[in-house]
């Protein structure tokens, strides 16, 4: 037996078998490497809904070995978050291979804002009956939490003697405008918008419209505030009375007109000469006190323990009170007595001056009243 020849023959057979095997692998591996899918995704936060929106794209290509393909497997995570636009094609579909080879498919997936990631897995099959050996998966990691744009509404109510003041605020963390509606009594309604980042807004509601207050905000199912007007203990009734004085050549007269008032008014008038005088005027009435004019007279009015400025009679009386009348000669017939008293322009001037002084006195009396007390000069 020729051992050398036998060994050579055996080695040749092994080499031939190896070559044939490698050729087969190359034959089958060539189309396998040509058929492939690539999955990619990008995510953005939709602040109007608070969801992550993932845009997927799948590139599927056989490099010319097939004309069309379909997905025999499509899966996505999180569970319950399908990808719209990229779906599994069943065996009995028509057409069975709906996608053109090399065509990029796009799909959209909505994921809860608190999810950490999302994925899409596909497996393609071509019309040359070639199926991907392994499914292809793309994964997107989310950065933080996706939150819905929302206002942070808050409302506060404070009562005063005239009604309520409502303060409407949109918190510092707000990412949307707060749209408030204030509903009160007697058909009162007001809409107010406080934008994100703006300072609070205030709304004044009169007492008659504040017997019941409800404040709502468009994004909230429950009222932001419910309340009512409560009159503070230190409120004084509205004063509709008029107070004025009149200085004549003979007197200093103080008057309280309470015909439009709702409460009785008591005032005290203290002269620097003589005794004080008190005047009480009921609601709906009118009353006066009079002091005889004399040189140096000053009268100080007061209400509720608060005094006003003293009224100086010398400064307020008409300017011509101290004038001495000068006789005016008149022509008369012999044997006749003196003429009639002079009237006309001179008397009219005196009356006009007196009227102006009376008006000035009334104005000064009212202005003085406005300083601290209700009844001042």
Domain check: are 48 and 133 in the same one? yes
* Beta strand 117-126 pairing with 136-141: antiparallel
CATH number of domain containing 307: 2.60.40
104 inside domain: yes
Which residues, including other chains, have CB under 8 Å from residue 274's CB and lie 6 or more apart?
291
Residue 237 lies in a domain: no
Taking the alpha carbons of 87, 138, 104, 131 in that order, is the dihedral positive or negative?
negative
Residue 89 lies in a domain: yes
How many domains does the structure of the chain reveal? 3
pTM of the entire structure?
A: 0.48
Burial class (CB in 10 A: 0-12, 13-18, 19+), 47: middle
Query: Is there a single domain that holds both residue 356 and residue 268?
Result: yes
Q: What is the pLDDT along the chain (377 residues), one digit of tens a residue?
A: 444 444 545 554 544 444 444 444 344 444 556 788 999 999 999 988 899 999 999 999 999 999 999 999 999 999 999 999 999 999 999 999 999 999 899 999 999 999 999 999 999 999 999 999 999 999 999 999 998 899 999 999 999 999 999 999 999 989 999 999 999 999 999 999 999 999 999 999 999 999 999 999 998 899 999 999 999 988 877 778 899 999 999 999 999 998 988 889 999 999 998 899 999 999 899 999 999 989 999 999 999 888 889 999 899 999 888 765 555 554 444 444 443 444 444 444 445 555 555 555 544 444 444 333 445 44
In a domain, 212, yes or no: yes
* Among 166, 200, 227, residue at a domain's last position: 227
Residue 252 sits in the same domain as residue 300: yes
Query: Does one domain contain both 65 and 94?
Result: yes
Domain termination site, one of 196, 227, 258: 227
**Which domain range does residue 317 map to?**
242-323+351-369
* Cβ atoms 112, 51 nearer than 8 A: yes
Query: Any bridge partners for residue 111, and if so which?
Result: 52
Between CA 171 and CA 291 the distance in angstroms is 64
Give Rg (Cα) of the chain: 51
Same-domain pairing of 95 and 184: no
Q: Is 341 inside any structural domain?
A: no
Interatomic CA distance for residues 22 and 174, integer angstroms: 67
Residue 356's pLDDT is 53
Shared domain check, 264 and 358: yes
**Among 374, 246, 239, which Cα is nearest to 308's?**
374
pLDDT score for 368 = 41
Write out the two tokens for 368.
């003085």
> How far, in Å, CA of 73 to CA of 68, rounded?
16
| One domain, residues 99 and 213 | no
Residue 119 is assigned to a structural domain of this protein: yes
Query: Is residue 189 in some structural domain?
Result: yes
CA dist 174 to 170, 177, 315, 342, Å?
6, 8, 65, 85
**What was the pLDDT predicted at 325?**
55
């Amino acid at each position: 037996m020729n051992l050398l020849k036998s060994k050579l023959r055996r080695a040749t057979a092994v080499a031939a078998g190896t070559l044939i095997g490698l050729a087969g692998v190359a034959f089958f591996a060539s189309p396998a490497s040509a058929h492939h899918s690539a999955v990619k995704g990008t995510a953005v936060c939709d602040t109007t809904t608070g969801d992550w929106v993932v845009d997927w794209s799948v590139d599927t290509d056989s490099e010319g070995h097939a004309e069309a393909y379909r997905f025999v497997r499509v899966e996505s995570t999180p569970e319950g978050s399908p990808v719209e636009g990229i779906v599994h094609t069943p065996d009995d579909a028509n057409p069975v291979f709906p996608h053109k080879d090399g065509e990029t498919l796009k799909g959209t997936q909505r994921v809860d804002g608190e999810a950490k990631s999302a994925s899409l897995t596909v497996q393609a099959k071509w019309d040359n009956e070639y199926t991907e050996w392994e499914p292809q998966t793309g994964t997107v990691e989310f950065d933080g939490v996706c939150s819905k744009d929302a206002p942070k509404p808050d409302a506060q109510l404070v009562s005063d003697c005239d009604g309520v003041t409502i303060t409407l605020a949109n918190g510092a963390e707000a990412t949307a405008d707060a749209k408030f509606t204030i509903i009160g009594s007697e058909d009162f309604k007001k809409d107010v918008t406080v934008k994100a980042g703006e300072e609070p807004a205030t709304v004044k509601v009169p007492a008659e419209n504040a017997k019941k207050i409800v404040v709502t905000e468009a994004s909230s199912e429950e009222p932001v505030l419910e309340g009512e007007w409560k009159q503070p203990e230190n409120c004084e009734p509205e004063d509709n009375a008029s107070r004025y004085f009149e200085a004549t050549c003979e007197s200093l007269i103080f008057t309280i007109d309470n015909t439009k008032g709702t409460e009785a008014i008591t005032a005290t008038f203290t002269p620097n000469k003589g005794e004080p005088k008190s005047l009480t005027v009921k609601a709906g009435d009118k009353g006066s006190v009079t002091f005889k004019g004399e040189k140096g007279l000053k009268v100080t009015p007061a209400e509720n323990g608060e005094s006003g400025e003293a009224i100086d009679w010398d400064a307020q009386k008409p300017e011509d009170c101290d004038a001495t009348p000068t006789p005016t000669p008149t022509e008369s017939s012999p044997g006749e007595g003196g003429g009639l008293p002079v009237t006309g322009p001179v008397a009219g001037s005196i009356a006009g001056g007196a009227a102006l002084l009376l008006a000035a006195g009334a104005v000064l009396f009212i202005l003085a009243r406005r300083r601290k007390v209700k009844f001042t000069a």
